[in-house]
Amino acid sequence: MTDINDLLSIDRPLPPERSFSRPFWEASREKRLLVQYDKVAGAYQFYPRPTSIYTGRRDNLEWREVSGRGVLFSHTIVRRARPPFRDHEPYVLAMVTLDEGVNVMSNIIHCAEEDLRPGLRVKPYWHPLPDGRHLLLFQPDT
């Protein structure tokens, strides 16, 4: 078994705050997950965008709070990486399907490689950033 790095010690560049993503990042300060929802399409989208991926319109979008719980849909073990992840390999890059049906790409932490499998229940792990926001990562929901 290979030890999987949790990536918690990496100095990550701060994510830019844009007008259309500000609600997401502001909620992260309180460790709450807001996801855009298109009222016309009846579907969530992630990552924050200025317009709907379904209708191309702005006025259809609203922010909804979700639990952040879901299942591991797919993952890969990254063994060669570029900065700032270089020398922190191996680590898990995952696609998580939230209970609301939207996919989120992130890292899985606090999980042994042999425990990774599709369908693994996960929950949010809010990693603090220097400016008070938090980065959404996932960990097993045990």
18-71 residue pLDDT tens: 999 999 999 999 999 999 999 999 999 999 999 999 999 999 999 999 999 999
| pTM for the model | 0.93
Nearest to 110 by CA among 5, 1, 10, 28: 5
Distance between CA atoms of 122 and 68, rounded to whole angstroms? 8
Residue length, the chain? 142
| Token pair listed for 8 | 């918690």
Residue 1 confidence (pLDDT) above 90: no
CATH architecture of structural domain 67-142? Beta Barrel (2.40)
Q: What percent of the chain has pLDDT over 90?
A: 87
| Burial track 41-68 (b if 16+ CB lie within 10 A, e otherwise) | eebbbbebeebbeeeeeeebbeeeebeb
| Overall average pLDDT of the 103-118 stretch | 95
Residues 6+ apart with CB under 8 A from 55: 38, 40, 41
Q: What is the helix (H) or strand (E) element at residue 22, kind and residue range?
A: helix 22-28
87-114 b/e with 16+ CB inside 10 Å = b?
A: ebeebbbbebbbebebebebbbbebeee
Distance CA 78, CA 27 (A): 29
Residue 96: pLDDT band (50, 70, 90) is very high
pLDDT, residue 142, reads 85
CA dihedral 84, 138, 100, 28 (to 10 degrees): -70
> Which pLDDT belongs to residue 2?
55
**All structural domains of the chain with their residue ranges:** 17-66, 67-142
Q: What is the pLDDT of residue 3?
A: 65
pLDDT tens figures, 73-88:
999 999 999 999 999 9
**Spatial separation of the C-alpha atoms in residues 32 and 34, rounded to whole Å:** 6
